[in-house]
């Protein structure tokens, strides 16, 4: 494998505007309710009484996620028809002509990346805007972000530029699939490990 594409997400400046989600949906003509990129709204904390005063421990942050084009993609492993493949550039793609819509990949992926297209009866997901890359332009989500909170590139270059990968709530243990995702965590994200953090917009995801 000559390279491995990955995403960088700067959660510390993501405003949760969901422009990345809409740009992805528009480019790929996704039906209502189908989102290859989702924005998680995470919050936690409470109000604590200290004597006659109340102290706020409330925190919140946003996290934009799509397919992470993992080193060990479980979607590829469980696909019974070989429709899921990992390309030489590291992008995990779906061959719609071979997909039978069994949804095994959807159930296996810990990030919820594969999405069922009821119109076509097949699975779909982020393809890293392969056509854009071939033309030398960035993926739609990267180009659209008004805060420049999303970047992409070869993972070796991303690590040099942004440092080693970190994991934040609500992401699963990265050792399972080894996602190619680099995150700059929000300054309050570490509190999600100790406080009762939760995702506020699960109905959107």
Locate the domains of the chain by residue range.
5-195
Q: Give the 3-state secondary structure percentages of the chain, helix then strand then coil, rounded to 5.
A: 20, 25, 55
pLDDT confidence bin for 86, thresholds 50/70/90: very high
What does the pLDDT read at residue 32? 86
pLDDT confidence bin for 193, thresholds 50/70/90: confident
Strands (E), the chain: 5-10, 38-44, 47-50, 53-56, 59-65, 84-86, 92-94, 115-117, 122-124, 150-154, 181-184, 198-199
What does the pLDDT read at residue 201? 96
Contact 165, 175 (CB under 8 A): no
CATH of 5-195, one of 1.10.10.60, 3.30.70.270, 3.40.50.2300, 3.30.70.20: 3.30.70.20
């Amino acid at each position: 494998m000559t390279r491995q594409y990955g995403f960088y997400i700067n959660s510390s400046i993501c405003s949760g505007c969901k422009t990345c989600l809409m740009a992805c949906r528009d480019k790929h003509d996704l039906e209502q309710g189908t989102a290859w990129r989702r924005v998680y709204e995470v919050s936690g904390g409470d109000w604590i009484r200290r004597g006659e005063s109340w102290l706020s421990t409330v925190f919140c942050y946003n996290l934009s996620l799509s397919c992470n084009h993992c080193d060990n993609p479980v979607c590829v492993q469980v696909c019974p028809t070989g429709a899921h493949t990992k390309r030489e550039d590291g992008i995990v793609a779906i061959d719609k002509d071979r997909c039978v819509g069994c949804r095994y990949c959807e159930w296996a992926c810990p990030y919820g990346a594969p999405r069922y297209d009821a119109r076509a009866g097949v699975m779909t997901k982020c393809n890293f805007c392969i056509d854009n890359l071939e033309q030398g332009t960035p993926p739609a989500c990267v180009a659209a972000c008004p805060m420049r909170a999303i970047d992409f590139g070869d993972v070796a270059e991303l690590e040099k530029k942004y440092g080693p990968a970190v994991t934040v709530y609500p992401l699963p243990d990265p050792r399972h699939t080894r996602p190619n995702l680099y995150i700059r965590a929000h300054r309050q994200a570490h509190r999600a490990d100790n406080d009762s953090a939760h995702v506020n917009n699960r109905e959107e995801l």
